[in-house]
Structure 1
Amino acid sequence: MFGPQVFLRLFVRINQDLWPWQLLAVVVSVGMPLLLLQRDLRASRLAVGLMAAAWASSGYGFLVGYFGPINWPAAWFGWAFVAQGGLLAAAVLFGGVHGQTLRAKQLTLFWLVAVCGLPWLVVADTGDWQSVALFGVAPGTTAAAGSLAVALMTGPWRWLYLPLLVLWSLFSVAMFWVLQTWWLLITPMATLLLIGAGLWFSPKPEQNSDSQSARHGPAHQ
């Protein structure tokens, strides 16, 4: 239905059409560590809420608005991205975000690698800096960085959040392989690795029980 040049051109088009509003995405991307490092429930909720907005904006903006007209499965994924954003918003409103201690410094490091490194893979394929794939604009970068949200979510919400991440990664690998856009294959593989990192950084049940016993121990004594 389309060639690699047509697909890669979409990133240039959306950046040109959005200018200068995508600077807000840059501010959110770089500022997110300030929320992750606070280890506060309100900060965690705000972080997940911003990720929800990024899922919805990249899904509707890029996949439905730009990619969908030349690739109908992309439009379906676009609406799934919007629903994923709704899921995160619901998690914020209905207790799906925890305020427990996690490995915030490591989580922040992985976040910065994702939002600062992955956007330039499209540039490596096109040679045009205007094709940079920003978090909140490009679906691949959004899904990769957004996969770290599993570290902030409680169990049931986390497992509802995971299927689209895996399906999108598999779809992306197949598409990039057919298009022979080899640099872009790194993004879905990074998404799968970041899912594992998010699960690893999330609080473990034994850690939670230990912290609770430490808080309640003096009272019992």
Structure 2
Amino acid sequence: MSEWWTYSLSDFLMFSPRAYWRLFEQQLGAHRYAMWPLLALLLAPWISRRPLTAQRWAGGSALLAGACLWVAWTFVVQRLGSIHWAMPNFAWAIATHALLICFVIGDTLLRRPHRVNPRAAWLILALAIGYPLAGVLLGRQWNQIEFLGLTPDLTLLCTLVIPACLASRWRWLLLPVPLAWGLFSAATLWTLASKEWLMMLGALAVCLWAVWRVEPVGRLVGR
């Protein structure tokens, strides 16, 4: 038997690049009528000229948690699960992540925060709009585009920003699943010879920077 160090990531790939990109095309085709209403619903809590309150931040985060559950079933299980045996386990992890978001939201609201630093909200908007466009510039077809609320990469990236403005001591529990999925996705894209793996790693780095540098809501109370 060959030694384990002689294997590469491509030896563990269970599908062809064409089969992988076809999944995104099928997902968008199946839910094409819900794409724009869903995007508007998910982004609405972050867009306003008024101060971004903790209540509105919590509402937007709860919508993203619901989007995680939707993506876990419709894409990770029903589509990726057909070509990768580990996807049901990932789906359970994403569902747990969604429940943790709701738990951390509740803990934050019990602390009676007043307002939220808006910079994290702008990062979510930038990800929702810029990430799909960057993918197209790197060679992805328009009918295979990443879409917030329909595909896991972008949806989980946006949830990675949620801890940036939460005062809860439990907010760090929201990091492992998006990070694990992001690294898995980057490895998959690298194996498929897609330049998008660099985009994924860059987006992960920016989101982590936001979590560490953007001031949580609890420290903004009373200013």
TM category (shorter chain) comes to 0.7 to 0.9
CA distance in 1, matches of 2:45, 2:117: 15
Distance 1:8-1:124 versus aligned 2 partners, 3 A rule:
farther
CA distance in 2, matches of 1:125, 1:48: 29
Look up the SS of the partner of 1:13 in the other structure.
Answer: helix
Do residues 110 (structure 1) and 123 (structure 2) align?
Answer: yes
**Cα offset for 1:133?**
1.0
| Structure 1 residue corresponding to 2:176, chosen from 151, 159, 163 | 163
Equivalent residue, structure 2, for 1:201: 214
**Cα offset for 1:155?**
3.7
Equivalent residue, structure 1, for 2:15: 2
Count of aligned pairs: 208
Matches for 1:95-174 after TM superposition, within 5 Å: 95-97=107-109, 99-104=113-118, 106-124=119-137, 127-174=140-187
Tell me which moved more, 179-188 or 67-76: 179-188
Matches for 1:17-96 after TM superposition, within 5 Å: 17-34=30-47, 38-92=51-105, 94-96=106-108
Structure 1 stretches of 4+ moved >6 Å: none
Look up the SS of the partner of 1:72 in the other structure.
Answer: coil
Q: Given residue 117 of structure 2, which amino acid in structure 1 is its aligned partner?
A: R
User: Given the two structures, how large is their TM-score scaled by the length of structure 1?
Assistant: 0.82
Q: Given residue 38 of structure 2, which amino acid in structure 1 is its aligned partner?
A: A
**Structure 1, residues 100-120: CA drift from partner, whole Å, max 9, x if none?**
44421x223212210001123
Gaps of 5+ in 1: 215-221
CA distance in 2, matches of 1:72, 1:36: 46
Distance 1:182-1:127 versus aligned 2 partners, 3 A rule:
closer
CA distance in 2, matches of 1:36, 1:152: 18
Distance 1:59-1:35 versus aligned 2 partners, 3 A rule:
farther
Equivalent residue, structure 2, for 1:192: 205
Q: Given residue 103 of structure 1, which amino acid in structure 2 is its aligned partner?
A: N
More helix by share: 1
Distance 1:112-1:127 versus aligned 2 partners, 3 A rule:
same
Distance 1:110-1:89 versus aligned 2 partners, 3 A rule:
same
RMSD of aligned alpha carbons: 2.5
**Cα offset for 1:86?**
1.3
CA distance in 1, matches of 2:214, 2:129: 20
Look up the SS of the partner of 2:149 in the other structure.
Answer: coil
**Cα offset for 1:82?**
1.3
Gaps of 5+ in 2: 1-13
**Cα offset for 1:17?**
0.7
Distance 1:103-1:16 versus aligned 2 partners, 3 A rule:
same
Contact kept, 8 Å, 1:144 with 1:194, in 2: the verdict is yes
Contact kept, 8 Å, 1:150 with 1:195, in 2: the verdict is no
Equivalent residue, structure 1, for 2:195: 182
